[in-house]
């Protein structure tokens, strides 16, 4: 019991670095796919607030970290996604269907 408590405290102290993927998904933003441009490696999303980027809700085009992400979605899909500022470009690094 004590070792479990210590492991949990360590995970909290490390900023959740040892957290399970279910916990980590809490910072995914919600959006709707408006356009998919596979040749350019871009996706346009109408999205809610992206807290990690301090970005308000809007519709905008994002680059994608891996063009294979675009094979998972189509226009009109509701999605959850993670975005990051990579070298000055807003980039989707993860995307999944929203429930």
Q: How confident is the model at residue 21 (pLDDT cuts 50, 70, 90)?
A: very low
Q: How confident is the model at residue 35 (pLDDT cuts 50, 70, 90)?
A: very high
CATH number of the domain residue 91 falls in: 2.40.50.320
Segment 38-59, tens digit of pLDDT: 999 999 999 999 999 999 999 9
Answer yes or no: are the C-beta atoms of 79 and 31 closer than 8 Å. Answer: yes
Q: Taking the model in full, what pTM does it have?
A: 0.73
- Asked if residue 20 belongs to a domain, the reply is no
- Asked if residue 69 belongs to a domain, the reply is yes
Coil, strand or helix: which one is 49?
coil
- Asked if residue 11 belongs to a domain, the reply is no
Report which secondary-structure segment, H or E, holds 11: helix 2-13
List, in sequence order, every residue forming a beta bridge with 94; answer none if it has no partner. 82
Q: How many domains does the chain have?
A: 1
Segment 79-91, tens digit of pLDDT: 999 999 999 999 9
Coil, strand or helix: which one is 34?
strand
Note the pLDDT of residue 26: 57
- Asked if residue 15 belongs to a domain, the reply is no
Taking CA 69 as the corner, what is the angle to CA 93 and CA 45, rounded to the nearest 5 degrees?
70
Determine the structural domain holding residue 33 and report its residue range. 27-97
- Asked if residue 38 belongs to a domain, the reply is yes
């Amino acid at each position: 019991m004590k070792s479990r408590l210590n492991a949990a405290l360590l995970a909290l102290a490390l900023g959740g670095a040892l957290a399970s993927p279910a916990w980590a998904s809490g910072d995914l933003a919600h959006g709707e796919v408006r356009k998919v441009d596979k040749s350019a490696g871009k996706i346009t999303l109408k999205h809610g607030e992206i807290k990690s980027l301090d970005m308000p809700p809007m519709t905008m085009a994002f680059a994608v970290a891996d063009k294979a992400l675009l094979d998972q979605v189509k226009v009109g899909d509701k999605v959850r996604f993670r975005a990051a500022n990579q070298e000055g470009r807003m980039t989707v690094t993860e995307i999944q269907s929203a429930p």
